[in-house]
Amino acid sequence: MKHEGIEILTDDAHCPMLPGIVHPGKDLLTIMNQMVDTRAHQNPMYLCDESNLVKRVQLFLRSGFSGEVAYAVKANPNARVLRMIHRGGINRFDVASLPEIETVVRVYPDAHIMFNNPWKTPHEIAQASEIHGVTHFTVQTELEIRKILGHTKALPRSLLEIAVRLQAPRNQKALVDFHDHFGAPKEAVIEMIRRLKKEIEGKVGISVHAGSQNSDIKSYQTALETMADISKAVGGVDFLNIGGGFPVEYYPNPPLGFGAFLRNIVTIANRAKERARADTMYMEPGRSIVAESTCLVIPVVGRTGNDLLHIRDSVYQSFFSARLHRFEPCFRAFRKGKHGFNELPPDKRKKFVARGRTCDAADFLEVQAPEGTREGDVLLLPSAGAYSGASCSTTFNGFTAPQWIYYNTPS
Ligand SMILES: Cc1ncc(COP(=O)(O)O)c(C=O)c1O
């Protein structure tokens, strides 16, 4: 549906997505000036620069990585975001559930799916392989191996691809440490790989996830070296999967130099692949592909005293993951003047407690924002595209996920 150049995205059967708008505007401030009406105290919205998504994908694809790049759908499953990622050149997706598989195949029926949740039900395994043709699964227990072999009977064994997930060391430098959540110890991985190599003619490999928002290169190196050691111990594996976790520039942190960071990881990974004598390798970034494409804009509906802001968003919508992982968002703030929005001095910041729009006492978050922020201003959170309103939002108290607005900056 088009209205004065603005395309309203509707939720149709072919392309389900969060309510959204494609705006012909070319830069963030233009979009804000046209879309954000402070008097109406409207709802929060995500402003997504589609060209950034495509560029980010291409950064990964041109990194020299000796393998294939998958996108971790959990970071942002919005159909239009998946489209841009596919447009950038990715046709491989890491998923955790049947609904995630359905979301991907509705947009791209020929996509390669990696069903990497290590705890699946027999029903999920059977549906994934029989209905959606999924051949790639991840295990971290003997039980899961039995389930997969028992519930993919219609699938020729030569087509099966099974990754055994290695437990990564604890990683206090990552925002999300997967040590307690994912993977088996090295010795158990070796046993499972030996068994799988006897049981299937398909491909057997090793996967790992060293932590999300992880800028510790050494943690990747340790994991990759262990994978290469395991491969040697079992007489070779078909593939390595280095997982995701690549870090994002969160405001106001200094530039990450992500290009150089990625080149380092790629060098280490390519070396490990050679040592492991693996045919191929995968990586599956999520956060790092989508986060920086998108800003979140939130109206401030009030300020109480010095330290309390009342915002038109919630830990039940945009900040579920931030709250769980104790991430403290730092906002820029804008005030509407005669000629549009002006930014409040960004360097004069202070800590606030931001109270959310629901009526739950637990709906609050520690944040930073410019010290003069008051009712009628809008907060802007850069790098808000991952693990936020598109993937983690609930409908508690009747509030729904914020709207998405897509635009394009010129290259
Ligand atoms: C198996 C797997 N791969 C990839 C990812 C993506 O990680 P990130 O968003 O940190 O890149 C996750 C995140 O939980 C994961 O569980």
The predicted-structure confidence for 161-179, as pLDDT tens digits, reads as follows 999 999 999 999 999 999 9
Pocket probe mutation, ligand 1, options 56, 90, 139, 284, max atoms within 8 Å of Cβ:
284
DSSP string, 116-127: --S---HHHHHH
Query: Which residue, judged by its Cα, is nearest atom 1 of ligand 1?
Result: 116
In one-letter notation, the amino acid at residue 383 is S
Calculate how far, in angstroms, residue 342's C-alpha sits from the geometric centre of ligand 1. 37
- Residue 202, class by beta-carbon neighbours within 10 Å (0-12 exposed, 13-18 middle, 19+ buried)? middle
Band (pLDDT 50/70/90 cuts) for residue 13 is very low
Calculate how far, in angstroms, residue 40's C-alpha sits from the geometric centre of ligand 1. 38
Q: Do strands 308-311 and 403-407 pair parallel, antiparallel, or not at all (unpaired)?
A: unpaired
Decide if 203 contacts 241 (C-beta within 8 A): no
Q: Which tokens sit at 107?
A: 């947009």
Calculate how far, in angstroms, residue 283's C-alpha sits from the geometric centre of ligand 1. 10
Decide if 249 contacts 255 (C-beta within 8 A): yes
Calculate how far, in angstroms, residue 140's C-alpha sits from the geometric centre of ligand 1. 16
Of 164, 221, 223, nearest to 197 by C-alpha is 164
Q: Which tokens sit at 394?
A: 């609930």
Calculate how far, in angstroms, residue 284's C-alpha sits from the geometric centre of ligand 1. 7
Query: Which residue, judged by its Cα, is nearest atom 5 of ligand 1?
Result: 244
In one-letter notation, the amino acid at residue 83 is R
Pocket probe mutation, ligand 1, options 137, 177, 212, max atoms within 8 Å of Cβ:
212
Residue 49, strand partner residues? 407
Q: For all residues of the chain together, what is the average pLDDT?
A: 92
Band (pLDDT 50/70/90 cuts) for residue 3 is low
Spell out the domains of the chain, with CATH numbers in brackets.
7-49+292-407 (2.40.37.10), 51-290 (3.20.20.10)
Calculate how far, in angstroms, residue 72's C-alpha sits from the geometric centre of ligand 1. 6
- Taking residues 106-126, what's their average pLDDT? 95
Atom of ligand 1 nearest to the CA of 117: 1
The predicted-structure confidence for 17-70, as pLDDT tens digits, reads as follows 556 777 766 788 888 888 887 666 578 999 999 999 999 999 999 999 999 999
Calculate how far, in angstroms, residue 347's C-alpha sits from the geometric centre of ligand 1. 33
Calculate how far, in angstroms, residue 178's C-alpha sits from the geometric centre of ligand 1. 9
C-alpha to C-alpha distance for 45 and 298, rounded to whole angstroms? 7
Decide if 200 contacts 237 (C-beta within 8 A): no
- Residue 199, class by beta-carbon neighbours within 10 Å (0-12 exposed, 13-18 middle, 19+ buried)? middle
Pocket probe mutation, ligand 1, options 76, 94, 179, 292, max atoms within 8 Å of Cβ:
94
Instruction: Please determine, for residue 114, whether its predicted confidence score (pLDDT) is greater than 70.
Output: yes
- Taking residues 358-387, what's their average pLDDT? 97
Atom of ligand 1 nearest to the CA of 213: 10
Q: How many CB atoms lie within 10 A of CB 132?
A: 18
Instruction: Please determine, for residue 154, whether its predicted confidence score (pLDDT) is greater than 70.
Output: yes
Decide if 190 contacts 183 (C-beta within 8 A): no
Query: Which residue, judged by its Cα, is nearest atom 2 of ligand 1?
Result: 243
Higher-pLDDT residue of 3 and 362 is: 362
Cα–Cα distance list, 392 to 152, 178, 244, 319, 379 (Å): 31, 18, 18, 8, 20
User: Who lines ligand 1 at CB under 6 A?
Assistant: 72, 74-75, 94, 116, 209, 212, 243-246, 284-288
